[in-house]
Amino acid sequence: MTRISDTAASPRRRDILRAGGVLAAGACLPAWAQSGTPGIAPLPTVSGEDIRLRIAHRMLTIDGRASHAVGVNGTVPAPLIRLREGQNVRLHVENALDEQSSIHWHGLLVPFHMDGVPGVSFPGIAPRSTFTYEFPVRQSGTYWYHSHSGLQEQLGLYGPIVIDPAGTDPIVSAREHVIVLSDHSPLHPHVIFRKLKQQGGYFNFQKQTLAGLLAGRDQREAERLAWGGMRMDPADVADVTASTYAYLVNGHGPRDNWTGLFVPGERVRLRIVNASAMTTFNLRIPGLAMTVVQADGLPVRAVTVDEIQVAVAETYDVIVEPRDDRAYALVGESVDRSGMALATLAPRAGMRAAAPPLRPRPLATMKDMGMGGMAATATATTGGHDMPGHKMAGQDGGGQDAAGQDGGAEDAAGQDMGTMSHSMRDFANAPELKRTPTIQTIAPMPVDRTGEPGQGLLDVGHRVLTYRDLVATARNPDTRAPDRSLRIHLTGNMERYMWAFDGEKLNEVTAPFAFLAGERVRVTLVNDTMMGHPIHLHGHFFELVTGHGDFAPRKHTVQVQPGGTVTFDVTTDAVGDWAFHCHMLYHMHAGMMQVVTVRPRDAVPA
């Protein structure tokens, strides 16, 4: 809870600020996001066949502090757009800014010229003008929308979309709450980006210290030297942290105490959207299990867990059944554990549960460096001596104490790290890559990590969702085997804050990823960096290859864990030009984006 106690105003002053904040916030938030919203019943949303949205500057008050934002129809987050499967919708979007704007409908299957990506699918919405999007609504579920222009999304231009099924909803609940998680900074996003460019670790205030070394915390000396020699920092888990961010639930900071009401014993559906620019959230409700019923808008077989790592741009619908007449804390802890989004589920407004303390920050492990395959091969190639070193960081990984705690591993660690420093940029491990400055490291032995719960969650002592837990409820629409396969590297250079696919930033790319309509392609994403990247393909769902055959979970965004791989199959059935990018906003802005073209088969010149 450092974030909250950091603002050490006197109690009286804080109360005044808080009262003012609640008033100001109440005035500018959509009803569904207001504190104490009773659920969907009185939900004033925008809906129907003709919807008007107006993008404009405004002020946003979080925990009593005002800062500049860009909102829609006067609110941050933007209004909930509620649609019904099978309807048509026209969305008239007025851009009242003095710069270009845009709205992309994240996860919606729309004709490509309605997808809203400036320079890819349309020219953008010029300043002081209106663009009308029009498309049939072909799906149901929980989605969201956001600006795809510059860094506007970080300023507040994001909102949820809920699409009700054409028939009865197979997911039964007594009420629901939309939970939009986001991050907001008083710094202008261009300032944040400039600071990251100057120093990749600018916002990281959780580096290892000499005091920590002397106290026996974190990594041991040999390891620290080895990582330092590679100019890599194992505490570098998030680029932008609570040192500048407030983490929000429906536009409210932790002290605002956004509250979703319930009647004890009810089945409550939470539609969780991670609309943040840069923050991976570890979401939990202490004392309450969450049954996941939808991922990225599509139904999955019910799976009950205690925590979910929600990557940027993912959505999850969960059912909770609070039975006690008490408040529960809804906790969205940032992956680096520098801060948390906090809200309340309660039977009455004005209640609040004790928030758990922030857990110790995770340190990156050898697996996060793409050495996940080492432990298995070490036995064969080097015998037993190196094994403790590999096991130490590679398999116990995740906990902040994992590296360096394994007794007797000292010299093994020194040796491993020594050889590792030579092999972390070995192009023999990825001969298909061009040698560019945007490749600082290459994962030597990356492994599929979709069966793992996500960075820092390996040993939290309760059930954590993994991608392999997700199974589609309906047979996949296309169950053909792939015709061809593609291996794409996620690459970066932390020191210069450059990010790219295959070492090429968007502005250096000479040709798009080209597909023909109806191709079935197997794509493997290889994360050569020490950061998780939520990769989003526009216009399509893809099937994660996680061992569930024709019932593979279908997603629009997939988190590729540090040093890990993810494989998916995709049917390129949507003709047009589609953005394909990391959804970390500053990664995309720094070049981690490309274009996918899907051409009709008869239109391709010989």
Smallest gap from Cβ 237 to Cu ion, in A, equals 13
Q: How far apart are CA 357 and CA 558, in angstroms?
A: 29
Of residues 75 and 440, the one with the C-beta less far from Cu ion: 440
Instruction: Evaluate whether 100 touches 125 at the Cβ level (below 8 Å).
Output: yes
Q: Which of residues 250-309 bind Cu ion (CB under 5 A)?
A: none
Helix (H) / strand (E) containing 579: strand 576-582
Of residues 208 and 565, the one with the C-beta less far from Cu ion: 565
Of residues 148 and 220, the one with the C-beta less far from Cu ion: 148
Q: Which range in 132-140, 253-261, 262-270, 586-594 contacts Cu ion by CB under 5 A?
A: 586-594
Q: Which range in 130-138, 180-188, 280-288, 582-590 contacts Cu ion by CB under 5 A?
A: 582-590
Quick one: DSSP state of residue 59? E
Instruction: Evaluate whether 292 touches 68 at the Cβ level (below 8 Å).
Output: no
- The angle, 0 to 180 degrees and rounded to 10, between the axes of the packed helices 387-394 and 374-382 is 180
Quick one: DSSP state of residue 532? -
User: Both tokens of residue 556?
Assistant: 């629009």
Smallest gap from Cβ 183 to Cu ion, in A, equals 15
Q: What are phi and psi of 498, to 5 degrees?
A: -115, 140
Of residues 294 and 565, the one with the C-beta less far from Cu ion: 565
Q: How far apart are CA 306 and CA 455, in angstroms?
A: 16
Amino acid residing at 134: E
Of residues 3 and 581, the one with the C-beta less far from Cu ion: 581
Q: Which range in 125-133, 381-389, 455-463, 576-584 contacts Cu ion by CB under 5 A?
A: 576-584
Smallest gap from Cβ 239 to Cu ion, in A, equals 9
Pairing of strands 246-249, 158-164: unpaired
Smallest gap from Cβ 499 to Cu ion, in A, equals 6
Smallest gap from Cβ 204 to Cu ion, in A, equals 16
Q: Which range in 49-57, 74-82, 162-170, 527-535 contacts Cu ion by CB under 5 A?
A: 527-535
Q: Which of 561, 394, 554, 374 is nearest to 475 (CA)?
A: 554
Instruction: Evaluate whether 539 touches 106 at the Cβ level (below 8 Å).
Output: no
Q: Which of 420, 582, 595, 596 binds Cu ion (CB under 5 A)?
A: 582
What are the residues whose beta carbons fall under 8 Å from the beta carbon of 511, sequence distance 6 or more? none
Smallest gap from Cβ 535 to Cu ion, in A, equals 8
Of residues 342 and 582, the one with the C-beta less far from Cu ion: 582
Of residues 30 and 563, the one with the C-beta less far from Cu ion: 563
Of residues 62 and 277, the one with the C-beta less far from Cu ion: 277
Pairing of strands 533-537, 557-560: antiparallel
Smallest gap from Cβ 585 to Cu ion, in A, equals 9
Smallest gap from Cβ 586 to Cu ion, in A, equals 8
Q: How far apart are CA 443 and CA 524, in angstroms?
A: 14
The reply on whether position 581 binds Cu ion by CB under 5 A is no
CA distances from 48 to 45, 78, 84, 102, 427 (A): 10, 17, 9, 21, 54
Smallest gap from Cβ 589 to Cu ion, in A, equals 10
Smallest gap from Cβ 533 to Cu ion, in A, equals 4
Q: Which range in 20-28, 171-179, 223-231, 574-582 contacts Cu ion by CB under 5 A?
A: 574-582
Q: Which range in 28-36, 111-119, 313-321, 577-585 contacts Cu ion by CB under 5 A?
A: 577-585
The reply on whether position 587 binds Cu ion by CB under 5 A is yes
Instruction: Evaluate whether 207 touches 141 at the Cβ level (below 8 Å).
Output: no
Please measure the distance between the N-terminal and C-terminal CA atoms of the chain and give it in whole angstroms. Answer: 62
The reply on whether position 335 binds Cu ion by CB under 5 A is no
Of residues 137 and 311, the one with the C-beta less far from Cu ion: 311
Residues paired with 560 in a beta bridge: 533
User: Both tokens of residue 111?
Assistant: 């004709």
Of residues 386 and 502, the one with the C-beta less far from Cu ion: 502
Q: Which of residues 220-239 bind Cu ion (CB under 5 A)?
A: none
Please list the helix, strand and coil fractions of the chain in percent, rounded to the nearest 5, in that order: 20, 35, 50
Smallest gap from Cβ 588 to Cu ion, in A, equals 7
Of residues 148 and 587, the one with the C-beta less far from Cu ion: 587
- The angle, 0 to 180 degrees and rounded to 10, between the axes of the packed helices 410-423 and 387-394 is 80
Q: Total residues contacting Cu ion (rule CB under 5 A)? A: 4
Of residues 250 and 280, the one with the C-beta less far from Cu ion: 280
If you write DSSP's letter for every residue of 148-177 in order, what string do you get?
-STTHHHHT-EEEEEEE-SS--SS--SEEE
Of residues 69 and 494, the one with the C-beta less far from Cu ion: 494
Smallest gap from Cβ 523 to Cu ion, in A, equals 16
User: Both tokens of residue 499?
Assistant: 């990010």
What are the residues whose beta carbons fall under 8 Å from the beta carbon of 191, sequence distance 6 or more? none
Pairing of strands 268-274, 315-320: antiparallel
Smallest gap from Cβ 587 to Cu ion, in A, equals 3
Q: How far apart are CA 109 and CA 298, in angstroms?
A: 13
Of residues 404 and 492, the one with the C-beta less far from Cu ion: 492
User: Both tokens of residue 319?
Assistant: 């059912």
Smallest gap from Cβ 442 to Cu ion, in A, equals 16
User: Both tokens of residue 561?
Assistant: 């864990």
Q: Which of 584, 595, 596, 598 binds Cu ion (CB under 5 A)?
A: 584
Of residues 259 and 491, the one with the C-beta less far from Cu ion: 491
Q: How far apart are CA 239 and CA 250, in angstroms?
A: 23
Q: How far apart are CA 324 and CA 347, in angstroms?
A: 9
Smallest gap from Cβ 592 to Cu ion, in A, equals 5
The contact mask relative to Cu ion for 528-547 (x = CB under 5 A, - = no) is -----x--------------
Instruction: Evaluate whether 401 touches 376 at the Cβ level (below 8 Å).
Output: no
Q: How far apart are CA 73 and CA 96, in angstroms?
A: 11
Which residues of the chain form contacts with Cu ion (CB under 5 A)? 533, 582, 584, 587
